[in-house]
Amino acid sequence: MRLFVSIDLPDDFAAEVEQVQAQFADATGLNFTDPEQAHVTLKFLGDVNQGELPRVKNAVRRAIEKSGVEPFETTYEGVGVFPDIGYIKVLWLGVGEGSEQMTDLHETIEREVTRLGFDPEDHDFTPHVTLARMEHAGGKELVQENVEELDPTVGTTEVTEVRLTESVLTDEGPEYSTVESFALE
């Protein structure tokens, strides 16, 4: 199973996410994500054997409890790129309010799953929703201009759970399904 830990955007945010993506539609080289699957990845786990699943679930549950993060408001807003504006690999939607809680969740999940043998992240965590991946630099200038000029707000919502999500790669793109949901209390 190919797994990651996520906070999913509400279904009714898909149209707003798509509107943000539309601002970049003329930029060649971008491969857009499905707005109906928009999420913040707290930790990418990768391939996990079915037999390890109970340990992974327990580690995520333990991490959420240790984090002390209760349900919180979050605002999805702004756009940016990774790794930097000069060399773009990912176009993303940012997190304003709520980013501190997401970072706390990421850090406790990171600690718990690395104890199970998962690799630690090799970069700083920035809460974000991936909007597109840049496959070639044909539309780089348009992306750069839009990132500098646009400051969209998709919306504010309450985060009440974290999900362990399975990603199945298909010819049409990844398909996500929830393995387990963990309530914030």
* Residues pairing with 162 in the sheet: 182
CA 70 to chain centre: 19
Q: Which helix (H) or strand (E) holds 81?
A: strand 72-84
- Which residue in the list 39, 106, 123, 136 is annotated as catalytic? 39
The dihedral formed by the CA atoms of 84, 98, 152 and 154, expressed in degrees to the nearest 10? 130
* Residues pairing with 169 in the sheet: 174
Q: For residue 83, is the peptide bond before it cis, meaning its omega torsion is within 30 degrees of 0?
A: yes
Q: How far apart are CA 100 and CA 1, in angstroms?
A: 29
CB-CB contact of 27 with 166 (8 Å): no
- Which residue in the list 106, 123, 128, 136 is annotated as catalytic? 128
Q: How many CB atoms lie within 10 A of CB 57?
A: 14
Active site residue 39: yes
Active site residue 128: yes
The dihedral formed by the CA atoms of 146, 173, 160 and 60, expressed in degrees to the nearest 10? -120
* Active site residues per annotation: 39, 128
